[in-house]
């Protein structure tokens, strides 16, 4: 029998849907009225919840599952929005990420898409 370590996603029953719901609610609390305004600490917490939801989905469904792809796509959109918060509307009317240097959020968004 495999021992359970602290921090393992298998250490306690967690539903990926519960995690995603909590991530969405937390993210919405941290969003500002304009896309280019930096969000609050809630958005960082939502990022951590999305990362955890991906790990749980991978453990439950495996890496080739459509369910995992859905979770990763939602997380990628979240990370892309967080990356866009560093932008300015005058840089580009169509590309919200114009003239923003790459950061952790943009890397994670690209990996999850």
In a domain, 20, yes or no: yes
Domain annotation covers residue 32: yes
> Is 90 within the bounds of a domain?
yes
Domain enclosing residue 87, as ranges: 16-112
Q: Which two tokens stand for residue 100?
A: 């923003």
Residue 8 lies in a domain: no
What does pLDDT average to over the chain? 85
Give yes or no for a contact between 16 and 56, defined as CB atoms under 8 angstroms apart.
yes
The pLDDT value recorded for residue 73 is 95
pLDDT for res 14: 65
Counting the structural domains of the chain, the total is 1
Please report whether residue 36 resides in a domain.
Answer: yes
- Per-residue model confidence (pLDDT) at position 71: 94
Give a yes or no: residue 99 inside a domain.
yes
Longest CA pairwise span in the chain (Å):
58
pLDDT at 35: 79
pLDDT of residue 1: 42
Separation between Cα atoms, residue 75 and residue 79, nearest integer Å? 6
Residues in the chain: 113
Which residues, given as ranges, of the chain have pLDDT below 70? 1-14
**CA 93 vs CA 1, 29, 37, 85, 110: distances in Å:** 57, 26, 16, 14, 22
In a domain, 34, yes or no: yes
| Closest C-alpha among 34, 16, 35 to residue 81 | 35
Asked, for residue 5, whether it belongs to a domain, the answer is no
| pTM exceeds 0.85, yes or no | no
- What is the tens place of the pLDDT at every residue in 54-73? 999 999 899 999 999 999 99
Angstrom distance (rounded) from CA 93 to CA 57: 36
Q: What pLDDT was estimated at residue 6?
A: 53
Query: What are the counts of helices (DSSP H) followed by strands (DSSP E) for the chain?
Result: 4, 0
């Amino acid at each position: 029998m495999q021992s359970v370590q602290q921090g393992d996603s298998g250490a306690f029953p967690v539903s990926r849907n519960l995690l995603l719901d909590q991530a969405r609610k937390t993210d919405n609390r941290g969003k500002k009225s304009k896309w280019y305004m930096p969000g609050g600490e809630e958005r960082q917490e939502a990022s951590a919840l999305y990362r955890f939801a991906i790990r749980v989905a991978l453990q439950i469904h495996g890496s080739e599952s459509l369910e995992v792809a859905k979770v990763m796509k939602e997380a990628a959109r979240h990370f892309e929005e967080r990356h866009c918060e560093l932008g300015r509307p005058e840089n580009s009317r169509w590309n919200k990420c114009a003239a923003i240097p790459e950061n952790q959020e943009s890397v994670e968004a690209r990996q999850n898409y």
